[in-house]
Structure formats: structure tokens, C-alpha cells
Amino acid sequence: MIFLLENSGKPINKQTLLESVWSGAVVGEQVIFQSINEIRQLFPNNEVIKTIPQKGYVWLPDVQIKETKKPFARNKKTTLLALCMLALLFASIMLNRHQPDASNDVQLAQQNISGSIVILPTQNQIDGNDHSWIRLGMMDQIIKRLPNSNDHLVLQADYVLEVLKRANASSKELLSKDIQQIFRVSGAELIVFSKLSGVPHDYQLSYVFNYRKRLKKGVLLNKNLQLLIDEFSLLIAKQLGDEILPLEIAYQADFNNALLSSAIDKHLEGNFQLANPILETIVLNNPENLTAQRILVGNLFRLKLFKQAAERIDIALPIAQKLKDKDEITRLLYSKALYHYVTYNDYKSADVAVKALITAKENNDWLLMAHIKNIQGNLAVNKENYELAEAFYNEGKQYHQVLHCPVGESQSWANLASLAKIQNQQKKFTAAIDQAINIATTRELSSQLNYFKRIKEQGFN
């Protein structure tokens, strides 16, 4: 704010702001967006900062510097302090309210995080095949060691990759500008970025905890890579108010497989037919790679090879139960319920959906709970029990709202719009689809936005 006040009336571009305000710090454009938003919140009824496309930001109100009666040696620091005090005085007069208590920041920091947590792929800067697994493998291990709670959900590794795809961000080379887009499309409350550098036996892990309105950065050093991952996992858990889960001897490091990384890249590109032979090779050699099993199931669904998908589920589910992998059990049960639904066996779909919901609740897996409620809503529609369907859709929407997930919440509104259309309730239809469009517009969900607009255009035709 001080820098903008010093340059009142002049457009200041992002690069100049980064170099002048955050010189010497490794930050990206996200910190500018956050800071500008925070300043604007001080003046909710007045436009004090204007965004000029391709030019930057400009401070609009006139700024006057008043000299004190007693002359004193002015330096840059005292000038900046005077400007800052002037700005605060201006805010007080304009808004006629007290400044917030500084203790609020402390209280906020002590509160547990509520919503979804995104652990990004680790950016690996160490050469050699011995460390090629780091990008996805380290992310996966950390995620598996962070428990879910009634307040937050740590997104599973493959869902994180879907989020990156939605944000048009590369898992191989994340840029600072990608973080803000990931916030938009995921609704996450915390995004964890990490970068591994150094040499074997002298590892350096730099990290950034990206909160919605603040950043926390640091560096961890360790000669032992596993101890470094343990330390980082513990650090993240403390941010969540949790303790890390123990690293089981039977831990399946699914993402440590180089072939799986290749298959996932093809999967994210939409090349399911190219990804499937690779996935089949992985599960043939290691049936306990449940991540590969589940991604293969998903690809078979996308290719509408439902019978093959069911066969793969029947192979993978007993393995997940044997390994006591609750996350995978829940996801495979959900896939099985989905299979029965798309093959018109509503009775079996409803039965398996109940089992999946029980395991999802035990795991505090809000995302799967929302998806299961969606299936239950669809099944209720098929029975023409519209009141029950609406209840299920609303429950799913509430789960998505807990996670601040814009994709899921907007889809839930679209489901409610479709339900209203079936019942010829035009006002309900319009209200619901407008909610879906508003969320998709605000969060820049382009593919969903186009879909929702088509639904609205079709109306009751």
C-alpha cells in the first residue's frame, strides 16, 4: 500500500511491485492479488485501487504529505511511515470504524483449517533415475500420512492431478501464477508447494504454505531423504492441528513407479487408450498397486468398457481389503456402485452405495460422501421419489460446500435444476441453474460454464 501511495495516480505493473515491495523474497503474482484484495477490503464503499488491464494497479485518491511543525531529518523510512499513517487515517475517516484488533490474527492462526488441502507434486531438481519418483511419490507419501478430520480433507494424489488439469497447470513445472488458479478451481484453503534440491545425502527442501490471504515459507535440511519427508509431513500436520499417521511397513508406494507417472501423464492428456496398456502392465507385475488399479478402472469407464471395469474392480477390491487400505476400499466401492448404476441395476447400486458411504464416513472422506449422495439422488429420481432425490442432492451440495469445492457445488446445483425441470418447476429450475452458472463464472470453470449455459438455453424445451 505504501508503494502505491508513493506513486499515486501512476499505473504500477506487477513486475515493478514484485521487485520494489518483495525484493529478495521468492514470491509470485499470487501475493500481489492477495495484498490488493486486503487493501480493497479496508475501503469497501470506495474504489481506491483500479486495475488497468496490461498496465497494472493505480491508487486513485489524492495523497498529500503534511510536514510537521518541527523540522526533522527526513529519510525514506520516516516518509513511508508518514504515508502509511495518512492512509490509515484516510481509512478511518472514510469508513468511520475502528481498526481490527491485532489479536485476531493470532486467534486466526490458532484455528484449525476448514476445507480441502492440496499437496502439490514436489518439484524435483535432483538429476538421476534414483530420484525420478520424487515428483509424485513424495506427494503421495505425505498425503497418506495426513489424516482427514471433521473440518478438513486432504485431497488424494490422483484427484490433485485432476485439479491441476482443471487449472491448466503442469505437475512437472508449477509456476507461481498457477497457485491462484488452483485456489479458484479447487476451493482449497491450503495449497502446499515444495521443491527438492541439493545432492544425495545433502538434501534441501524449500516449501511454501499458500493460504488464501498469507504465505508461510521455509527450508528443511537433512542427509536422509526419508527423515526429511517425515519432518515435512509433521510440519504440515501441525498446520492442520493434527498428528501424522505412522508410516506402515506395508505402505504401498504406488507413485514411486516410473511407468505409473507415464500412464498418469497420458491419462491427464485424455489418451486413455494409450494409458491402459501401461496400467495393465503395472497391475500385472504388482497387483497391489491400487492407484494403478483404480485409475485403470476409471479409464475403462471413460471408454465405456463397463464389463472390463467391473472385472477389474472385483480383482482390486479384495486386495484393498487385505491391505486394509480404507481410502482405496471407499473409492472402489464407489466405482462398483457407479458400475451398477450405469448398467441399470439400481437395486445393487443402492446397496453398494450404502456400503461405500459407511466407509467414506469412517474416513471423513467428504468428497466421496458427496459423490455417493449424487448417485443416491440419481437412483431416487429413477424411482420418481423426487423429494428424496432433492434431499440427497442437497446433502451432496453441503459436503462440497464444507470443502469449498466449486466444481462439486456447481454440479449439485445443476442436478437440482434438472430435478426441478422434471417436476416442471420453472422458478426452481432458473434459480438453481443460475447458481451453477454464477459459481462456474466466478471460479473460471470454463467447460462446466458452457455445459450449464446449454442447460439454461434448453430450458423446458
DSSP 3-state of 260: helix
DSSP 3-state of 98: coil
Indicate the residue among 36, 64, 99 that finishes a domain: 99
Tell whether 290 and 219 lie within a shared domain.
no
The CATH number that applies at residue 190 is 3.40.50.10610
Residue 145 has a pLDDT of 87
Residue 135 has a pLDDT of 87
Tell whether 355 and 425 lie within a shared domain.
yes
Summarised one tens digit per residue, pLDDT across range 8-21 is 778 888 778 777 77
Average pLDDT over residues 148-174: 87
Average pLDDT over residues 360-375: 93
Residue 250 lies in a domain: no
Residue 253 lies in a domain: no
Tell whether 119 and 230 lie within a shared domain.
yes
Residue 256 has a pLDDT of 61
Residue 63 lies in a domain: yes
Question: Which DSSP letter does residue 285 get?
Answer: H
Residue 171 lies in a domain: yes
Q: pTM (2 decimals)?
A: 0.67
CA distance 123 to 220: 15
Average pLDDT over residues 34-58: 72
The CATH number that applies at residue 44 is 1.10.10
Tell whether 194 and 323 lie within a shared domain.
no
- Residue 25 pLDDT > 90, yes or no? no
- Residue 404 pLDDT > 50, yes or no? yes
Please report, rounded to a whole number, the percentage of residues in the chain having pLDDT higher than 70: 81
CA distance 229 to 208: 15
Residue 106 lies in a domain: no
- Percentage helix, strand, coil for the chain under 3-state DSSP, each rounded to 5: 60, 10, 30
Indicate the residue among 240, 270, 289 that finishes a domain: 240
| pLDDT confidence bin for 30, thresholds 50/70/90 | low
C-alpha pair distances (Å), 219 with each of 60, 128, 133, 202, 369: 39, 22, 21, 13, 36
Residue 342 has a pLDDT of 95
Summarised one tens digit per residue, pLDDT across range 249-274 is 344 556 666 778 788 888 878 888 99
CA distance 293 to 315: 9
- Residue 414 pLDDT > 80, yes or no? yes
Tell whether 94 and 132 lie within a shared domain.
no
Q: In terms of residue numbers, what domain contains 136?
A: 114-240
- Residue 461 pLDDT > 80, yes or no? no
Of 380 and 70, the one with more pLDDT? 380
Number of domains within the chain: 3
- Residue 31 pLDDT > 70, yes or no? no
The distance from CA 278 to its chain's CA centroid, rounded to whole angstroms, is 28
Summarised one tens digit per residue, pLDDT across range 86-135 is 444 444 334 333 333 333 333 334 445 778 999 999 999 888 777 878 88
Residue 146, all three cell numbers: 495426513
Tell whether 181 and 205 lie within a shared domain.
yes
Give the end-to-end CA distance of the chain in Å, rounded to a whole number: 53
Tell whether 36 and 77 lie within a shared domain.
yes
Tell whether 10 and 85 lie within a shared domain.
yes
Q: Nearest-CA neighbor of 330 among 366, 303, 304, 306?
A: 366
Residue 65 has a pLDDT of 61
- Residue 204 pLDDT > 50, yes or no? yes
Q: DSSP letters along 418-434, please? A: HHHHHTT-HHHHHHHHH
Of 427 and 158, the one with more pLDDT? 427
Residue 80 has a pLDDT of 47
Of 410 and 248, the one with more pLDDT? 410
Residue 109 lies in a domain: no
CA distance 96 to 241: 37
Residue the block writes with cell 506513486? 7
Q: Which residues contact 149 (CB under 8 A, 6 or more apart)?
A: 112, 240, 242, 364
- Residue 228 pLDDT > 50, yes or no? yes
CA distance 187 to 443: 9
Q: Nearest-CA neighbor of 20 among 64, 52, 56?
A: 56
| pLDDT confidence bin for 314, thresholds 50/70/90 | very high
Residue 252 lies in a domain: no
| CA-angle at 292, arms to 291 and 293, nearest 5° | 90
Tell whether 92 and 120 lie within a shared domain.
no
- Residue 75 pLDDT > 80, yes or no? no
- Residue 67 pLDDT > 90, yes or no? no
Residue 248 lies in a domain: no
Tell whether 91 and 130 lie within a shared domain.
no
Residue the block writes with cell 477490503? 41
Indicate the residue among 212, 240, 268 that finishes a domain: 240
- For the chain, give the mean pLDDT: 82
Average pLDDT over residues 303-313: 95
Amino acid at 67: E
The CATH number that applies at residue 397 is 1.25.40.10
Tell whether 206 and 158 lie within a shared domain.
yes
Tell whether 184 and 321 lie within a shared domain.
no
